Structures are given as C-alpha cells and as structure tokens.
Amino acid sequence: MAIKHILKKTKTLKNKPFFGIINMQNKYLLFGKNAVLAGIAGLAAGAGIAEFSHYITDSKTLTSITSTIASYAAMSGVFLPLHAKDNSDIYYDKNNKFKWRDFIWDQLKMMGGFVVLDIAYLAGKPFVVNELMKNGSSPSHSSLYTDLMSAGVFLLAAFPIAKLTGNIRPKNPTLEEKISESETVAKAE
C-alpha cells in the first residue's frame, strides 16, 4: 500500500526534474545573470556620464552625483525587464497578460530589503567619487572604482534578500493547476 502511494507521487512529480531543485537552481542562475548584466550597465553608464559631465562642468560634486544617478538608473533599467522576462512563469497569466501588480509588489519588497545598502550607495558614492577625483583620479576611473567596491557587497546581499522577499521562487501554482493535479492523483488511485 505504501509503495503504491509512493509510486503515484513519483508519477505526479515526473515533470518536475529532481523535484523542482533544478528549476530553482536555474532561478538563482538567472537572477545572478541579471544582477551581473545590470552591474555592467551601471558601471558603463556611471563611467560614461562621469566623463561627459566632467567635460561640461568643473564641479566634482555635480560630476559624482550625475554618475551615481546614471549608474543607478542603468542598473534598474537593465535588471527589471530581464527579471520580468526570466520569470514569465510567475509574472504572466495563462492569457499571456503581464501581471503588473505582482511584479511591482515584488520589486517594492526587494527595494525594501536593499534600502540600507541603497542609501549607503546613493549617499556614499558621490562622496567617494569626489574624493578620488580630488586626489587626481579621472572621473570615469573614480566612478568605476567606487562601483566595483560596492558591487561585491551588493552581490553578496542580493541573493538572500531576493530569496527572502520572494523574487527568487518557483512558479506559484494556480488553483486550477492544484485541482487538476489532485484530479490526476485521484484518477490514478
């Protein structure tokens, strides 16, 4: 009797490789890929805007602030669409309609988890860039050095925060899928 029940359970899990473990590993890899790509975009945007701003103005403070804003905007602009695309199983319904409410809520939760790091980055980067430029470093190098210093901290914090806030999770089965699965199990018995 127990063996028969285990075999039925195994049949229902057949489409879930290694009981969903591989699917979750893919979610971590996709999240990491998105974070790295967003980081690269942030580095490039920050360095580019720092150089451009430096040609327009001699104000090191203004250059460091514009570099910080450009980095942050580029990182968000790259990460958010990639995250939505890679989690289409979560953020799209059966009719292929994007679930804006779920997506925005998840991103707000993740931003809440990063609030301390974000404040430190947004307040600290202009100061550090300004100091590096005062000591003779070019605007682009100052921006790059500062972003590289903070990138490690962000990446170390990103995975646990994303997991805790639900940004890395398996697909949420709908009520219809749960009913269908239970009907399949009932028919097998």
For residues 155 and 153, give the distance between their C-alpha atoms in angstroms, rounded to a whole number. Answer: 6
Six-digit token pair at 179?
């009913």
pLDDT at 169: 82
- Who wins on pLDDT, 122 or 84? 84
Q: List the domain boundaries for the chain.
A: 48-171
CB 29 within 8 A of CB 86: no
Among 38-47, 79-88, 153-162, the range scoring the smallest mean pLDDT is 153-162
pLDDT at 173: 53
Count of residues in the chain: 189
Question: pLDDT tens-digit profile of 85-117?
Answer: 988 888 888 898 999 999 999 999 988 888 888
- Who wins on pLDDT, 35 or 170? 35
pLDDT at 188: 59
For residues 167 and 87, give the distance between their C-alpha atoms in angstroms, rounded to a whole number. Answer: 9
φ/ψ of 16, rounded to 5, equals -110, 95
- Who wins on pLDDT, 52 or 18? 52
